[in-house]
C-alpha cells in the first residue's frame, strides 16, 4: 500500500478543471458561445493527464469568464458562478467555477489559469488556497490560450498539503515539446521538477519576509489590509517595502493583455461580434486597434519592471500583499470605491494581482477569516522566481498556526 501511494499520491481524489483545459471527447468552451461550434478535444490537457497519472479522478469542467477575460465570472452565456459562502455574491474570476466548486466541497482539487490574477482572485473571494507558479513552470499544452506571454496554470485546494501534492504531480518537463530556444512557446520552461511536499514542515524558518506597502496599501479596503496585518503579525513580518515601477508594470500588463487578446480573437470579432459578451467584445476590439509600437514599449517596460523587482528579492525571500481590494461583492455590482476612487469591479478586482503575474512571480493565495464580518479574503504570499517552495512553506506555517483556513461552505452565515 505504501508503494502504491508513493506512485499514486492522489489515488481516488476527485478533481475538476476550468473549462479551458481540454478533456477528451468534450468541447473546450472557454466560457464562450462561439466555441460551442468547435470540435471535441481529442486528448486531455497535459496537466489533466498528470493528475490522472497520480491517481486523481476527473469529474468535470467548471464555469469561467468568457475567454478568461474578467475577475467576476458573471458569464452571460452560462450564468454567474455563485460564491458558496454567500450565494448572492461573486466567486471571483476568471477561474470562478474552480474556486466555487472547491469551497462548496464538490471536489478536493481544481485547476485554473492565471493571466492577471485569475487563480488568486477566486481563491481570495471563495476562501481557498490557490497557487500561481512561476511563469513557464507548468506546461500549457491542451489549454485554451488567453495571453500567451502572461498565461500561467495552477491548482486550487482546501489545504496546503493538497495544494503541494497536486502541484508536485504536475511538475516536470514535457517530453517532445521543445523549448523557447528552438521555437516552442515561452510558456513552458522545461524545468526539472522541484518537489515541495517534503519541505512544508520547514515552515517560515529562516525566510526573510517583507510586507508590501505603497500601491498595495493604496488599492485595498480596510478589510483587505486587516487580513494582511493578521498574516504579517503571525509571521513577525514588520518591515514594509514598496515595489518600484508598480503602476508602470500594471499598465504594461493591461496593454499586453488587450493587444494579444484582440489579435487572438480578431477573426471571430469580424465574423461573429454579436456572439461575444459585450464587455469582452469591446475590450478585444480596443486591443486589436492598439499600435504595435505601444505593445513593444509595454514589453520593454515589463522587462525593466522585472529587473527592478528582482533587486527586492536580494533583501527578502517572501513578500506579502492583499490578494483582492475587498471581499466578494454582490453579483451585478458594477462599481466599488477604494480610498475615495470609484472603480469598475470587473477589471479592478485584479488591481493587486496583475502587477505580480505581469513578471511571472510564484504566488500562493491564502484565505483569512475574521477580517470581514462573514466572508473570507485572501493574502498573497509572493516568492522569487522558481521558489514556489518558499511560498508554500509560509502558507503551511500560517495554516498550522490557524491563521488561514479553508472550511467547506455551510451557507449558515
Active-site annotation, residues: 18, 94, 118
Distances (CA, A) of 390 to 101, 112, 124, 164, 200: 27, 21, 20, 12, 9
CA separation for the pair 65, 369 (Å, rounded): 26
Three-state DSSP state, 378: strand
Asked whether the beta carbons of 390 and 384 are under 8 A apart, the reply is yes
Parallel, antiparallel or unpaired: strands 363-368 and 377-383: antiparallel
* Share in percent of the chain as helix, strand, coil (round to 5): 35, 20, 45
The neighbouring-strand residues paired with 322 are 379
Detail the DSSP E strand segments found in 227-384: 240-241, 318-322, 335-338, 341-344, 363-368, 377-383
Q: Give 83's strand partners.
A: 86
Q: Which burial class, exposed, middle or buried, applies to 412 when counting CB atoms under 10 A from its CB (0-12, 13-18, 19+)?
A: exposed
Amino acid at each position: 500500500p505504501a508503494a502504491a501511494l508513493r506512485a499514486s499520491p492522489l489515488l481516488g481524489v476527485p478533481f475538476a478543471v476550468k473549462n479551458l483545459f481540454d478533456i477528451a471527447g468534450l468541447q473546450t468552451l472557454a466560457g464562450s458561445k462561439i466555441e460551442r461550434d468547435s470540435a471535441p478535444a481529442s486528448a486531455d490537457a497535459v496537466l489533466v493527464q498528470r493528475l490522472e497519472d497520480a491517481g486523481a479522478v476527473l469529474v468535470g469542467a467548471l464555469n469561467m469568464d468568457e475567454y478568461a477575460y474578467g475577475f467576476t465570472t458573471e458569464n452571460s452565456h452560462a450564468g454567474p458562478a455563485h460564491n458558496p459562502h454567500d450565494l448572492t455574491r461573486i466567486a471571483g474570476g476568471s477561474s470562478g467555477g474552480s474556486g466555487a466548486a472547491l469551497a462548496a466541497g464538490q471536489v478536493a482539487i481544481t485547476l485554473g489559469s492565471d493571466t492577471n490574477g485569475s487563480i488568486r482572485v477566486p481563491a481570495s473571494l471563495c476562501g481557498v488556497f490557490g497557487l500561481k507558479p512561476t511563469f513557464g513552470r507548468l506546461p500549457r499544452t491542451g489549454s485554451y490560450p488567453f495571453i500567451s506571454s502572461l498565461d500561467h496554470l495552477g491548482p486550487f485546494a482546501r489545504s496546503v498539503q493538497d495544494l503541494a501534492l497536486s502541484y508536485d504531480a504536475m511538475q516536470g518537463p514535457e517530453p517532445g515539446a521543445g523549448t523557447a530556444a528552438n521555437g516552442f512557446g515561452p510558456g513552458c520552461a522545461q524545468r526539472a521538477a522541484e518537489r515541495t511536499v517534503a519541505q512544508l514542515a520547514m515552515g517560515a524558518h529562516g525566510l526573510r519576509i517583507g510586507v508590501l506597502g505603497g500601491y498595495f496599501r493604496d488599492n485595498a479596503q480596510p478589510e483587505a489590509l486587516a487580513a494582511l496585518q493578521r498574516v504579517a503579525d503571525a509571521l513577525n513580518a514588520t518591515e514594509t517595502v514598496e515595489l518600484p515601477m508598480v503602476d508602470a508594470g500594471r499598465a504594461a500588463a493591461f496593454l499586453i493583455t488587450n493587444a494579444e487578446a484582440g489579435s487572438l480573437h480578431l477573426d471571430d470579432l469580424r465574423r461573429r461580434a454579436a456572439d461575444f459578451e459585450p464587455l469582452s467584445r469591446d475590450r478585444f476590439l480596443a486591443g486589436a486597434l492598439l499600435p504595435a509600437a505601444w505593445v513593444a514599449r509595454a514589453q520593454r517596460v515589463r522587462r525593466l519592471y522585472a529587473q527592478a523587482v528582482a533587486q527586492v528579492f536580494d533583501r527578502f525571500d517572501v513578500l506579502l500583499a492583499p490578494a483582492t481590494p475587498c471581499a466578494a461583492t454582490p453579483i451585478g455590482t458594477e462599481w466599488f470605491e477604494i480610498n475615495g476612487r470609484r472603480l469598475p469591479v470587473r477589471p479592478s478586482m485584479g488591481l493587486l494581482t496583475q502587477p505580480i503575474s505581469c513578471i511571472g512571480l510564484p504566488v500562493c493565495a491564502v484565505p483569512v477569516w475574521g477580517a470581514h464580518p462573514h466572508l473570507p479574503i485572501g493574502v498573497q504570499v509572493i516568492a522569487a522566481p522558481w521558489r514556489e517552495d518558499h511560498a508554500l512553506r509560509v502558507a503551511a506555517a500560517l495554516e498550522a498556526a490557524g491563521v488561514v483556513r479553508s472550511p467547506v461552505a455551510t451557507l449558515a452565515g
